Amino acid sequence: MPARGAVPARASVLERVLRAREISIVLALALLVIVTAVGHPSFVHSQSIRDILLGAAIMAVLAVGQTIVVITRNIDLSVGSVLGLSAFAAGSLLMDHPGVPIIVAVLVGIAVGAGCGLVNGLLVRFGDVPALVVTLGTLYAYRGVAYLWAGGSQINADELPDGFLKFGTATVLGVPYLVLIAVAVLVIAGVVLRSYPAGRQLYALGSSPDGARLAGIPVGRRTLAAFLASGVLAGLAGVLFAARFGTVDAAAGNGYELNVVAAVVVGGVAIFGGSGSVWGAALGALLLTTIGSALPVLGVDQFWQQAIVGALILLAIGIDRLIAARVAAALKKRGSHVR
């Protein structure tokens, strides 16, 4: 009975805390919008909100993939470079072959991302090298491939099919396609992580890799699958980026990796693995995107924007450690009562 009761206790505590974290993000987001709108009413006009949602949609897709990796106690720093490489691949195909169906370009971008994610996963699994080191290396490697491919050139909007560009701006009942795609990714990933054995095994792997092995979980395959999922979603985000902005060069997605990690951590995904949700990560992406749009409107210097994001990351990590300590104390207390 003690072993059977401990897991629900831990899950219950974590679920309550994570729910509180997500609610706090929503409240912070609402406060930020209200404060900004009071002095600058144009901030809540439809076009401004639409631009924020489009930016957050791309970031959220990346954040979902990053969440899957971070849950396993790993990290993927190459997502920005994968986004750029996938965006350039899809854009080049459409530019060089105007008659190619848009869906083919989408699949090519996703395939490029999947290939990059597979390389990351194989290096982490068989190279016995920390994911931080591997993906830091592939961050520069993939970016170098993009620069070699581009050769200093860029893809302009007038060289891309109108249908592809409309895909990046069109709406359904006022909701942009990109936002609907991001929501679909969130729902699918959320259901898989919460309700399917493979998803739950990722949490078990992040909580205790050794315990996961003893429980018969295929740790290597799950790690590989996590990096593959991150690559696929980074590739999809690259296609969405190309459709959204129209202009793509070798520097596309530069710096996105740090913003994505920030969104995931601020959204309540424990950087040490084992807990968190894609919904929290998406809220973190929305909050950081809104901060990036609101602070310039309020006249805040670029330095302070970065400082605020850094402070949010440190605060989130501190909260994670506090949560871990309290959960451990609660389980220890419960175990002593059972005995």
Q: What CATH number does residue 320 fall under? A: 1.10.3470
Predicted local distance difference test score (pLDDT) of residue 109: 95
| Residue 238 burial (10 A CB sphere; 0-12, 13-18, 19+) | buried
Predicted local distance difference test score (pLDDT) of residue 48: 85
Q: Which pLDDT tens digit goes with each residue over 151-184? A: 878 888 888 888 888 888 888 888 889 999 999 9
Task: Answer yes or no: is pLDDT of 1 > 50.
Answer: no
CB-based contact 43:209 (threshold 8 Å): no
CA distance 30 to 218: 42
Confidence tier at 326 by pLDDT (50, 70, 90): low
Q: Which pLDDT tens digit goes with each residue over 222-269? A: 999 999 999 999 999 999 999 999 888 888 888 888 889 989 988 888
Q: Report the candidate in 337, 105, 90, 113 with the shortest Cα–Cα distance to residue 227.
A: 113
* Of 91 and 14, more confident: 91
Q: In this prediction, what percent of the chain has a pLDDT beyond 90? A: 42
Q: Which pLDDT tens digit goes with each residue over 176-223? A: 899 999 999 999 999 999 889 998 999 999 888 888 888 888 988 999
Residues in the chain: 339
Domain count, the chain: 1
> The domain containing residue 82 runs over which residues?
2-338
